[in-house]
Amino acid sequence: MRVSRRAAVAGILGALPAAALGMTEEYRIDPAVVADGIWMIHGDDAPILPANGGAIANIVIIDTPAGTVLVDSGPSLRYGRALKAVAEKLTGKPVIRVYVTHLHPDHGMGIAAFDPAIVAALPQTIADIARDGRGFSDAMYRILGDWMRGTEIVLPGRRIDQASEDFGGRKVQLMALSGHSAADLAILDEKTGTLIGGDLLFHDRAPSTPTADLARWRESLDALSKTPHKGAIPGHGPFDPSGTQAIMQTRRWIHWLESALTGAVQSGLDMVEAGAIAIPPEFSGMAAARYELQRSVSHLYPGLEAKLLPRVDVPDQ
Amino acid sequence: MWRQKVSLILIGTGLLAMPVPLPARAPYPADPLQSPMWQAHAKTIFGDDPVRFDPRVKMLYPEVAENQRSFPVALDARGVGQVKRMVIFADLNPIPIAIDYRPEAAEPYVATRIKLDQRTPVRGAVQLADGQWLVAGGWVDAAGGGCSAPPVSRVKGDWATHLGEMRGEAWPMSEDGSSRLRVTFRHPMDTGFVANIPTYNIEELAVKSAAGTVLGEMEIWASVSEDPAITLMPHAKAGDVLTVDARDTNGRAYLARIAVARQSAMPSATPQ
């Protein structure tokens, strides 16, 4: 058999990762139906890594009579563009609204691909992105490199100050909550009863706490529990058809985290040791549990020390 | 003394780039981390003493550097023999050494949090009574700028209000007659790399018994994180009162008294 030079070269190139060749890697976006007219794109249940291009957050597509509505937009311009193309092909309608659930870059930096006038977020989220966006952007470029190419910080152009929005008869309730961050948007699709929790909900994936207020987070979980709904879409992890499991798991993790770190400070553990404590078996199925525990030690330990360790300095003689 | 010697060596090798005579000693072992700074730091810290990499020395830290301004590290050399000195350093930090500790009457354990200015080897080195150094450590990936970003309390502007606040607690550890001492300070720990903020850091700390015997003492450098937190294991039993005596580069003195608790709280949260 005669093998052309071109085919041989193509074969060699095919065996190498695209990045090694300076080629552009593309995101794989696979929406899965979770309710009538609602798709979830399941992010990688892992830390932000070059291998996943930062596509770790769940993204939601809603087909409404007025057009396509998105909840969160992924980590980068490239993701946002691919998402727009996939969503519009799926519904056959243009994207008319993009909600940003909270300030974190894995959820919001993809809005660079959209007209800011259709991007909506809670006022506090917009203020937080204005304050922290540059730092997030630096961190994302450092970790993800080429995946982030061309991604600029864009502020959502619409402030959410109403409790619901109607898209040609398909109405969503907009819940202004907090706890995972200073402003967390949760959304209820009235037609199907699907609850979109943003990062207030983690499911089979350990919650992250870089901007968390655990007491407020608990209050928000209570509010979500009291909101009648069917299935729940978490910010990270698989769809929860029961609608209760993700809420319960998130609540149990943050309760354990707070009591375990409190116990660690009271027992004289330093931060390295606190990051190495045993994780209870009930969380053994949670992805990224050790990773998030160690991040949470970094976020929460100094505050717990300041609260729990007594003052010991002797006043000047 | 030792600090001056380091300064002289840094000036001699770094700034003036003078030709350095070949050492009259065996070369340092090849660095498993292949750090560009291994030879230079080895010469500064270990001098002519024998050096080897030893897995019994545990340099412990989390798998992720979540905060490059405050990266938890613990150096545990229990079980390797009589330790007279323990040094925690990060090769590629502009201030490489964080802590230089002499456990006089204490278990060889020290934990704190350090700044990381970039991806760097983070190491612990312990010197045994016979003079030889045992070294451990690994590469830690970190976002840049831990040493050159202004401290949070400088940005907030409240550092002076809280300067000198110390918190702490001590617990007996029944097995070996040692205690576990944790002490925290409010202090900006300025590195001198932020515009118009000169170096200002806690530089000496000693833990003493009620009788004034030094149980452990250390030099502390500005690469230790803002609001330092330090964990040590001085020999003391329940009811003993430990004194923590520290001083910063402005000559301000810090004094705390911490009674060792009657009961150990350790079993409730034993690390894996």
Mean of the per-residue pLDDT values of chain A: 93
B:6-65 residues touching chain A, CB 8 A cutoff:
60-64
What pLDDT was estimated at residue A197?
98
B136 touching chain A per CB within 8 A? no
State the count of interchain CB pairs (< 8 A) between A and B.
114
A139 touching chain B per CB within 8 A? yes
What ipTM was estimated for this complex?
0.88
What pLDDT was estimated at residue A271?
98
Asked if residue B218 has pLDDT above 90, the reply is yes
Tokens 């009235």, residue located: A190
Asked if residue B100 has pLDDT above 50, the reply is yes
**What residue of A is the nearest CA neighbor of B244?**
A313
Asked if residue A250 has pLDDT above 70, the reply is yes
Asked if residue A6 has pLDDT above 60, the reply is no
At B46-93, the pLDDT tens digits run: 999 999 999 999 999 999 999 999 999 999 999 999 999 999 999 999
Partners of residue A275 in chain B, C-beta under 8 Å: 62, 72
**What residue of B is the nearest CA neighbor of A293?**
B62
Largest pairwise CA distance in chain B: 58
What pLDDT was estimated at residue B7?
45
What pLDDT was estimated at residue B152?
78
**What is the pLDDT confidence band of residue A2, given thresholds at 50, 70 and 90?**
very low
B:161-200 residues touching chain A, CB 8 A cutoff:
164-171, 180, 182-184
Asked if residue B23 has pLDDT above 60, the reply is no
Asked if residue A239 has pLDDT above 90, the reply is yes
Between B80 and B266, the higher pLDDT residue: B80
What pLDDT was estimated at residue B15?
44
Interacting residues of B52 by C-beta distance below 8 A, sequence separation 6+: B29, B132, B133, B134, B135
Partners of residue B266 in chain A, C-beta under 8 Å: 267-268
A280 touching chain B per CB within 8 A? no
Asked if residue B175 has pLDDT above 80, the reply is no
Work out the minimum CA distance from B111 to partner chain A, whole angstroms.
Answer: 7
What pLDDT was estimated at residue B269?
42
Partners of residue B64 in chain A, C-beta under 8 Å: 47, 291, 294-295
**What is the pLDDT confidence band of residue B21, given thresholds at 50, 70 and 90?**
low
**Strand, coil or helix: B65:** coil
A294 touching chain B per CB within 8 A? yes
Partners of residue A299 in chain B, C-beta under 8 Å: 66
What pLDDT was estimated at residue B20?
54
What pLDDT was estimated at residue A121?
98
What pLDDT was estimated at residue A34?
98
Go through A35-67 and write b for each residue having 16 or more CB atoms within 10 A of its CB, e for each that does not.
bebbbbbbbbbebbeeebbbbbbbbbbbbbeeb
Of A47, A260, A272, the CB nearest to B62: A272
At A106-127, the pLDDT tens digits run: 999 999 999 999 999 999 999 9
What pLDDT was estimated at residue B5?
46
CATH number of B32-265: 2.60.40.2470
Lowest average pLDDT, out of A223-227, B18-22, B188-192, goes to B18-22
Q: Which of A254, A108, A109 is nearest to A180 (CA)?
A: A254
What pLDDT was estimated at residue A194?
98
CB atoms A295 and B64 under 8 Å:
yes
What pLDDT was estimated at residue B13?
43
At A292-309, the pLDDT tens digits run: 999 999 999 999 999 999
Interacting residues of A4 by C-beta distance below 8 A, sequence separation 6+: none
Asked if residue B9 has pLDDT above 90, the reply is no
Lowest average pLDDT, out of A239-243, B149-153, B189-193, B208-212, goes to B149-153
For residues A251 and A240, what is the distance between their CA atoms, to the nearest angstrom?
15
Between B18 and B52, the higher pLDDT residue: B52
Asked if residue B1 has pLDDT above 90, the reply is no
- In this structure, which long-range contacts are made by residues A161-166, counting pairs with CB atoms below 8 Å and at least 24 apart in sequence? A161/A123, A165/A97, A165/A120
Interacting residues of B185 by C-beta distance below 8 A, sequence separation 6+: B164, B165, B166, B202, B227, B228, B229, B246, B254
For residues B270 and B234, what is the distance between their CA atoms, to the nearest angstrom?
19
Partners of residue A233 on adjacent β-strands: A196
CB atoms A312 and B183 under 8 Å:
yes
At A63-112, the pLDDT tens digits run: 999 999 999 999 999 999 999 999 999 999 999 999 999 999 999 999 99
Pairing of the two strands A184-189 and B178-185: unpaired
For residues A75 and A55, what is the distance between their CA atoms, to the nearest angstrom?
6
What pLDDT was estimated at residue B25?
62
Phi, psi (rounded to 5 degrees) for B188? -70, -25
> Distances in Å between the alpha carbon of B94 and those of B117, B193, B260?
7, 9, 37
What pLDDT was estimated at residue B237?
92
CB atoms A305 and B171 under 8 Å:
no
**What residue of B is the nearest CA neighbor of A295?**
B66
Asked if residue B22 has pLDDT above 70, the reply is no
**What residue of B is the nearest CA neighbor of A209?**
B66
CB atoms B227 and A266 under 8 Å:
no
Domains assigned to chain A? 25-243 (3.60.15.10)
Work out the minimum CA distance from A13 to partner chain B, whole angstroms.
Answer: 30
**Strand, coil or helix: B72:** strand
Three-state secondary structure string covering chain A: CCCCHHHHHHHHHHCCCHHHHCCCCCCCCCEEEEECCEEEECCCCCCCCCCCCCCCCCEEEEEECCEEEEECCCCCHHHHHHHHHHHHHHHCCCEEEEECCCCCHHHHHHHHHCCHHHEEECHHHHHHHHHHHHHHHHHHHHHHHHHHCCCCCCCCCEECCCCEEEECCEEEEEEEECCCCCCEEEEEECCCCEEECHHHCECCECCCCCCCCHHHHHHHHHHHHHCCCCCEECCECCCECCCCHHHHHHHHHHHHHHHHHHHHHHCCCCHHHHCCCCCCHHHCCCECHHHHHHHHHHHHHHHHHHHHCCECECCCC
| Average of per-residue pLDDT across B167-185 | 90
Quick count: other Cβ atoms within 10 Å of Cβ B32?
Answer: 13
Go through B134-145 and write b for each residue having 16 or more CB atoms within 10 A of its CB, e for each that does not.
bbbbeebebbee
What pLDDT was estimated at residue B11?
43
Asked if residue B268 has pLDDT above 90, the reply is no
For residues B117 and B191, what is the distance between their CA atoms, to the nearest angstrom?
11
